Structure 1
Amino acid sequence: MCFTGYGNIAAGAARALPVLTAMLGLAVMAAAVGEIDSDRAKVFAIAYVGVRVLSDRAWRGRSAIVVDWPVAQLGAGVVPWIVSLWIDGPWRYDLRAIGLGIDLFVSFTFDRERMTRSIAERQARAAGRRPGPHAISIARLDEAHFGERLGLFMIIVLGEGVLMVTQAMSDLEVWNRTGYGTVIGSLVLLAGLWALMLRRGYGGVPMLGESAPPRVMLFLHCVVAGVLAALASGMGELVESVPHAHPETSTRWLVCAAVAAIGLVGAGAAIAGNGWLWGLRPLAPALLIPALAVLLDPGVAGLVWLLVLAVALQLVATRAKATRQ
């Protein structure tokens, strides 16, 4: 997100080397996350800290304050990550969660004027000047381009779900009717979520309008992306459970809660943009049908198709508004 914002704001003036170096750091994180409970946890943290420091340095020398995503220039949330390098056991993960919490809190609650003054004073001291009013500009996101970038990122996360489903299907020893129904239903569900988030939404957030403030869009995008990543994992586990006909209880709760959470975010965005009467229409299927799927335990294929029904009814409930737009 930090470097997407950098490319968006700097545009043609963006330097390639920081972006390519950040990609290397992110590749190390991606390679290490599979063994995050081993020694690779330290490698993951070092790469994360390095990318965050690089994000801050990319803005050095530019008299601009990134008000829409201040984490790009503020590093308070990195401190717990650095401390975690010397901590073993579960506490290191708690420290990292605290660091992420600090970053999100700062990003969505910061005082713009205070931040501008603080960074101006820091830059003045670094340049050997006396702190005071200097030429500081406000860097704002190109919202149309940034929304398109966020939507593309969500497509990538949906693609991870497709990958999970197809890989789990390839591992099945026997392909039977239940397997076909589960796999086809899973792909239809992911396609329905794509329509809900991108055809009925903005920036990958279902039912969000283009006029939403950037900080609201970014916050909801973070929530939906995290939920969707969890759902992608659960979809693979659903296909793996085909030989047993019924998924494990934890998997059933995971996928149902994820679909309900995405629908809840969409309903909230619809209420904010179009009022309570409109927003409550997709809320009922978003919550009631996943709850029914949890309680009934209709088997692995039945569970998937109930979730497809929940997403389909949300699309139908918002179709009239989309047509008018």
Structure 2
Amino acid sequence: MTDSAPPAENEQSERHASWLELFFDLTAVAGVAQLAHLLHGGPAWADLGLYAVMFLAFWTGWMLFTVYGNVTRDQVRVWRVLAGMFGLAVMAAAVHGVREGEQAAAFALAYILVRSLAGKAWERRREYVADLPITRLGLGLTPWVVSMWFDGTARYALWALGLAIDLVVMFAVSTKSPEGREGDASEDAAVWTGHRPPRKLRAAYTDAPHLGERLGLFVLIVLGEGIAQTVSEASEVAWDSALYAVGTGAFLLLILLWSLSLRHGSDGVPLLSPGAVPVRLTLPLHCFVAGSVAALAAALGDSVAYTDAAVPERVRWLMCGSLAVYLVIAGAAVARSGRSVPWALLLTGPPLALVLAVGLTARDARAGHLVWLLVLALWWPLVWRLRRPSGAPAAPGSP
């Protein structure tokens, strides 16, 4: 097996998303919007579980083609990217009817085709992507194929099983880069596939700065959905001082999320320093961040209807729970970015405690009060990040 060297550093710094990649990202706009609707009206636990599974599936399909364009650069096959884009569009269109079972088979079939199409690209190139092992190791796709013969809960459980296998592969399969990163993916591939890969199979590595830009763009899309949800709901209610308070607070909350993830974070992950974790670990973190922000966007839209009444418990917990997930990831990112554990706890512990306290006790809170308490929670890590002690590593600068 031979390794292909990463792109030169000067090439990495000058590369930006192409028109094809930006066009492809329009499917993310549609997909995130449709997935957010699964959470409208105060979701039950079953709705949250289905949302998590479908969001992870959609994100996986988007990521496979994002990495394909990232690695192949000028050698990307346009027709393959557009075919993947169509498959993701079908997945997005099927979201609305999945809970009733009407479009569940269409969603699963589109996911299978997207995964298969992406995998065939690497077979033709006789390469595997060291930073994204599931491009060649398709064991997680098997439960999706089996699910075509099941209905209801059994089908969704098989989807979750397939995605869980992919996550295990992402964390368990080690890789080896020209700089001597850990392990040798060929040996792990032999374990997961049951046979050794071809001798001349080459390891391809991602262009980290370009991939970081794409990940950041995805988070921007999700934040945009928060604005869209709030604006859409605000257009259907009476405009009064209570609505102004909710709208202003929601906008400020999204600004803080943008600042923590993109100005003071890396790859869309809040407060993460560049290169602090391997790409294959950054990708799941990015998925969880994007999923939590999309859930918060849905909750913000729902909260607009409760300017003069207490926010329902399910909507309140959707807001607080999604923000709590975001803060937990931010705390882990701070700890992995070379800062001490006490500093990470000081940065994210108080806001996390406040968010959980609001979820537990603010039973009679109206939307305006609830949103502004969450703004206060997110303000804390931003202020304390700017007051980092001397000698602590700085987060990446703003673009």
What TM-score does the superposition give when structure 2 sets the normalisation length? 0.75
- Say if 2:342 is the partner of 1:296: no
Is the alpha carbon distance of 1:285 and 1:121 closer, same or farther for their aligned partners in structure 2, counting shifts above 3 Å? Answer: closer
Please tell me the residue identity of whatever aligns with 1:296. Answer: A
* Residue of 35, 52, 63 corresponding to 2:115: 52
Counterpart in the other structure of 1:128:
none
- Deviation of 1:66 (Å): 0.8
- Deviation of 1:119 (Å): 5.8
Counterpart in the other structure of 2:270:
206
* Residue of 68, 85, 91 corresponding to 1:23: 85
Is the alpha carbon distance of 1:182 and 1:194 closer, same or farther for their aligned partners in structure 2, counting shifts above 3 Å? Answer: same
1:260-313 C-alpha deviation (Å, 9 max, x unpaired): 221111111111211223212222332122123221343210100010111111
Contact 1:203/1:221, CA 8 A, preserved across alignment: yes
* Residue of 375, 386, 389 corresponding to 1:319: 386
C-alpha distance in structure 2 between counterparts of 1:151 and 1:133, whole Å:
35
Is the alpha carbon distance of 1:119 and 1:18 closer, same or farther for their aligned partners in structure 2, counting shifts above 3 Å? Answer: farther
- Say if 2:257 is the partner of 1:193: yes
* Residue of 267, 285, 289 corresponding to 1:224: 289
Counterpart in the other structure of 2:144:
81
The 3-state SS of whatever aligns with 1:205 is: coil
- Say if 2:180 is the partner of 1:180: no
Q: Which runs of 5+ in 2 are unaligned?
A: 1-62, 176-182, 389-393
Counterpart in the other structure of 2:67:
5
C-alpha distance in structure 2 between counterparts of 1:239 and 1:102, whole Å:
39
Counterpart in the other structure of 2:127:
64
C-alpha distance in structure 2 between counterparts of 1:218 and 1:133, whole Å:
27
C-alpha distance in structure 1 between counterparts of 2:328 and 2:369, whole Å:
22
Q: In proportion to residue count, which structure has more helix?
A: 1
**1:111-126 matched pairs, under 5 angstroms:** 111-112=174-175, 115-117=185-187
Contact 1:178/1:245, CA 8 A, preserved across alignment: no
Is the alpha carbon distance of 1:225 and 1:105 closer, same or farther for their aligned partners in structure 2, counting shifts above 3 Å? Answer: same
1:128-150 C-alpha deviation (Å, 9 max, x unpaired): xxx78722321111111111110
C-alpha distance in structure 1 between counterparts of 2:109 and 2:102, whole Å:
12
C-alpha distance in structure 1 between counterparts of 2:373 and 2:90, whole Å:
38
Percent of aligned positions with the same letter in both sequences?
40
Contact 1:108/1:219, CA 8 A, preserved across alignment: no
C-alpha distance in structure 2 between counterparts of 1:25 and 1:63, whole Å:
24
The 3-state SS of whatever aligns with 1:209 is: coil
Contact 2:139/2:192, CA 8 A, preserved across alignment: no
Number of residue pairs matched? Answer: 317
- Deviation of 1:104 (Å): 1.0
> Higher RCO, 1 or 2 (CA under 8 Å, sep at least 6)?
2
C-alpha distance in structure 2 between counterparts of 1:51 and 1:299, whole Å:
43
Contact 1:185/1:304, CA 8 A, preserved across alignment: yes
- Deviation of 1:323 (Å): 8.2
Please tell me the residue identity of whatever aligns with 2:260. Answer: L
Please tell me the residue identity of whatever aligns with 1:17. Answer: W
- Deviation of 1:44 (Å): 0.7
What TM-score does the superposition give when structure 1 sets the normalisation length? 0.91
1:96-155 C-alpha deviation (Å, 9 max, x unpaired): 0111111111112114467425768999x9xxxxx7872232111111111111011100
- Deviation of 1:64 (Å): 1.8
Counterpart in the other structure of 1:282:
347
The 3-state SS of whatever aligns with 1:65 is: strand
Contact 1:120/1:134, CA 8 A, preserved across alignment: no
Q: Which runs of 5+ in 1 are unaligned?
A: 126-130
Contact 2:230/2:300, CA 8 A, preserved across alignment: yes
The 3-state SS of whatever aligns with 2:381 is: helix
Counterpart in the other structure of 1:246:
310
C-alpha distance in structure 2 between counterparts of 1:284 and 1:79, whole Å:
40
Please tell me the residue identity of whatever aligns with 1:204. Answer: G
Contact 1:68/1:214, CA 8 A, preserved across alignment: yes
- Deviation of 1:61 (Å): 2.2
C-alpha distance in structure 1 between counterparts of 2:158 and 2:228, whole Å:
32
The 3-state SS of whatever aligns with 1:211 is: coil
Contact 2:289/2:326, CA 8 A, preserved across alignment: yes
